[in-house]
Chain A
Amino acid sequence: MGASRFEFRDVWEYITSNQDYLIRLMIQHAHLVFFAIVLGVVIGITLGFLSAYYKPVAAVVLPFAQIMMTVPSIALIGILLPFVGLGFNNGLVALTLYSLLPIIRNTYTGLNEISPSILEAARGMGLSERRILWRIKLPLVLPVVFAGIRTAIVMIVGIGAIASYVGAGGLGDLIFRGIARMRPVMILTGAIFISIIAIFLDIIMGWIERKLIARQT
C-alpha cells in the first residue's frame, strides 16, 4: 500500500534529489521535440503549399495527414518499428508525422483564404507567380502557419512521452519507470515537467504569433 500513497512533499523531494537526471531527461525530450518540429515545419509547409497550388496533391495529402492524427501514438510507434527500429529515430519519425496535420492544414487554409482580389491586383500590376509567392502569399500566410506550428509543438511535447517506450528517451522514461515500479511520485514528476515544457513553449510561441500579427495590421 505504501508504494501507491504519496504527498506533494515527496514529489518536491524527488525533484531536488534527482536534479541531474531530470535535466538530462528534459534535454533529451526537448532535443526530440526540436528535431521533430523542424522536420515537421519543413515537410508540412512544403506539403501545404503544394496542396494549395495543385489540387491532386491536396486530395492525397490532406486525408493522409488527417488519418495520421487518428492513429493512436502507441500503435504508430509499433508500426514504425520494422522501418526505423528502436530508439531516437523511431520517436523522431512518429512525432514528425503527428506535427504535420496542423501545419499542413493551416498552410493550406491560410493560402486559400487570401482574398482573390489581392492576388488579382498583384497579377494585374505585373508581379510574376514567383514574386506573388514571396511578396504576398508568404508574408500573409505566415501568422496562420505559425499558429499551426504552435499547436503542433504543444501536441508533440505531450506525445513525446510515448516515444520513450521504444527507447527514444525523454521525460516519458520517468512515467514508464514510475508505472513499472508503481511509484506515483515519478509518474507525477514526469507529467509535471512535460506540462511545464508545453506551457512554456506555448507562451513563447503565442508571444511571437502576436508580434507577427501586430506587424501586419
Chain B
Amino acid sequence: MIRFENVTKIFSRGTIPAVSNLNIEIPEGTICCMVGPSGCGKTTSMKMVNRLHSITEGKIYIDEVDNSTIDPISLRLDIGYVIQEIGLFPHMTIADNVATVLVEKKWPKQEIGKRVDELLELMGLEPKIYRQRRPSHLSGGQRQRVGVARAMAANPPIMLMDEPFGAVDHIARVRLQNEFLTLQEKISKTIIFVTHDIDEAIKMGDMIAVMREGKLVQYSTPEDLLSTPADEFVANLVGGNRSIKRLHLIRVSEILNRKVATVNMSDTLEAAKKHVIENAFNVVYVVSDTGVLNGFIGKVELKQEGEFVKDVYRSYPEIISDEATLSDALSVMLSNGESYVPVVDDFEHPLGAVSLEDVFKAVRQDD
C-alpha cells in the first residue's frame, strides 16, 4: 500500500507548487493511474515515491513506513521503475539489462540466470533467442517488454510506471496493455501508472487520480469517473463519447452467456444443419480434434456441394478472447461483417459468442 499524506512539492522557493497537498491511498495489488495534462504534477508525484524527487512537505508511506526514513538506494531497489524512453543500457545484453537490479542485490549468478530466463519467457521473449541480443536489435514493443521485465526482476511489490507504453504505435500499445493486465492478475503488484491518455487510464486503472496544476481533481474508479465527473475539467478530459469509453471497461467474459454448438470436421452436413437452424445466429462452430475453433458453417455454407463439414466450412477472419473488452468485440464484428463475434479461451477452444445486442444491453445497463 502507498499513501500520500498532505504531500506538497515546491521545486524552487516562491514558485507555484508542482504538487500541492496531495492525499491518495493506493491499496495493495491495485493499479492507480495518474492522469492529467503535462505539468499537472503526475510524474513529480510518482517520483517522490522512490525519492527521485524530495518531498517539500507531507509524507509518503509505503506499507505504513515513512519513505523518507528508508535509504534511497535500498528503497529504489525494492520498487520497480519503468519510464517511457525505457532507458535500456545499450552496452549490455538483454539478459544483463534484466539482471541489473539482481546484480545490485548480489544474487548468486546461477539464480540470476534462472530468473532472467523466467522473466523473458513471461514477457513472451524466447530466452534462447533474446538473452544475448543488444537492445538496438529489438523492436519498440520488445524493448518495452524488456523494460518491464527489468523492473520486475527482483519481484518488487511496488512498481512505478511513467507512460510505459507511450513510445510504441497504437496496435503494439493495445497488445502490451492487454498483456500487462493479464500479467497483473497473476502478480498483483501495487502500481502507480502515469499517463496523459485518459483512455489508457480508464483501461488500465483500478483507480484513477485526475490531476491538474498540482492538485488532485478527482480520485475514483474508472466507472465513477465516467458516470459522475467531479467538475467540468474532468468531464472535458473524459470527453463526449462516454458510452463508447465504457466499452473499454467491460470485458467479454462479463457478458458472455451464449453457447454455440460445435461439430467436428468429419461430421456430416446433415448433423450440422440441425444446429444451424436452432442457433440464434444460424451458425455452428467447427472444431478440430483437439477442440480448437477452426471456423463455422452458416446457412450459405449449408447450400454448398459436399457431404462433410470439412468440405464446406469457412474460417473466421478474426476471433477474440474472453479477456478482450467490448470495444475490441465491436471492432471485430465490424471487420467480420457479422452481428456476433466468436469468443475463445487461451487455447482457442470456443466459449460461445457475443452479439451486437449483448453489447448494447451491457452499455445500457451501465447507464
* Nearest CB of chain A from residue B273's CB, rounded to whole Å: 61
Please determine whether A126 and B83 come into contact, CB atoms closer than 8 angstroms: no
Contact: A126 with B73, CB < 8 Å? yes
A114-128 CB mask vs B (1 if < 8 Å, else 0) is 010111111111111
Q: How far is the CA of A9 from the CA of B101 in the complex (A)?
A: 67
Given contacts A124-B160, A125-B77, A126-B73, is CB(A117)–CB(B90) below 8 Å? no
Report the minimum CB–CB distance from A211 to chain B (whole Å): 13
Asked if residues B90 and A124 are in contact (CB atoms below 8 Å), the reply is no
How far does the alpha carbon of A119 sit from the alpha carbon of B81 in the complex, in Å? 12
Residues of chain A within 8 A of B78, CB atoms compared: 126
Smallest Cβ-Cβ distance to B78: which chain A residue:
A126
Residue among B52, B74, B89, B91 making CB contact with A124, cutoff 8 Å? B52
A16 adjacent to chain B (CB < 8 Å):
no
B162 to nearest A CB, angstroms? 9
Contacts of B81 in A (CB 8 A): 121, 124-125
Write out the residue numbers on chain B whose beta carbons fall within 8 Å of the beta carbon of A115: 85, 87
Give complex CA distance A50, B119 in Å: 38
Q: Is the CB of B91 within 8 A of A139?
A: yes
Instruction: Say if the beta carbon of A136 comes within 8 Å of chain B.
Output: yes
A19 CB to nearest chain B CB (Å): 46
Q: Please tell me the number of chain A residues within 8 Å of chain B, measured between CB atoms.
A: 21
| A interface majority secondary structure | helix
Any B CB within 8 A of the CB of A217: yes
- Binary CB contact string for chain B from 67 to 84 against chain A (1 if under 8 A, 0 otherwise): 000000111111101010
* B96-125 to A contact mask, C-beta < 8 Å, 1/0: 000011001000000000000000000000
**Least CB distance, B48 to chain A, in whole angstroms:** 12
Task: Give, as a whole number of angstroms, the nearest-CB distance from B76 to chain A.
Answer: 3
- Asked if B272 CB lies within 8 Å of chain A CBs, one says no
List chain B residues, Cβ under 8 A from A131: 104
Q: Judging by beta carbons under 8 Å apart, are B91 and A216 in contact?
A: yes
* Residues from chain B with Cβ under 8 Å of A124 in the complex: 47, 50, 52, 76, 81, 83, 160
B151 part of interface (Cβ distance < 8 Å): yes
A142: nearest residue on chain B (CB-CB)? B91
- The answer to whether the Cβ of B86 comes within 8 Å of any Cβ in the partner chain is yes
A125 touches B100 (CB 8 A): yes
- Enumerate chain B residues within 8 angstroms of A126, measured Cβ to Cβ: 73-79, 101, 104
A126 to B81, CA, bound (A): 9
Can you list the 8 inter-chain pairs with the closest CB atoms, starting with the nearest?
A: A121-B87, A126-B76, A117-B85, A126-B77, A124-B81, A117-B87, A216-B91, A118-B87
Interface residues of B (CB under 8 A from A): 47, 50, 52, 73-79, 81, 83, 85-91, 100-101, 104, 134, 136, 147, 150-151, 160
Q: Hey, which bits of chain A sit against chain B, CB under 8 A?
A: 115, 117-128, 131, 135-136, 139-140, 215-217
Q: List 23 A-B contacts (CB under 8 A).
A: A115-B85, A115-B87, A117-B83, A118-B90, A119-B87, A120-B85, A120-B87, A121-B87, A123-B52, A124-B81, A124-B160, A126-B74, A126-B78, A126-B101, A126-B104, A127-B100, A139-B91, A140-B90, A215-B91, A216-B90, A216-B91, A216-B134, A217-B136
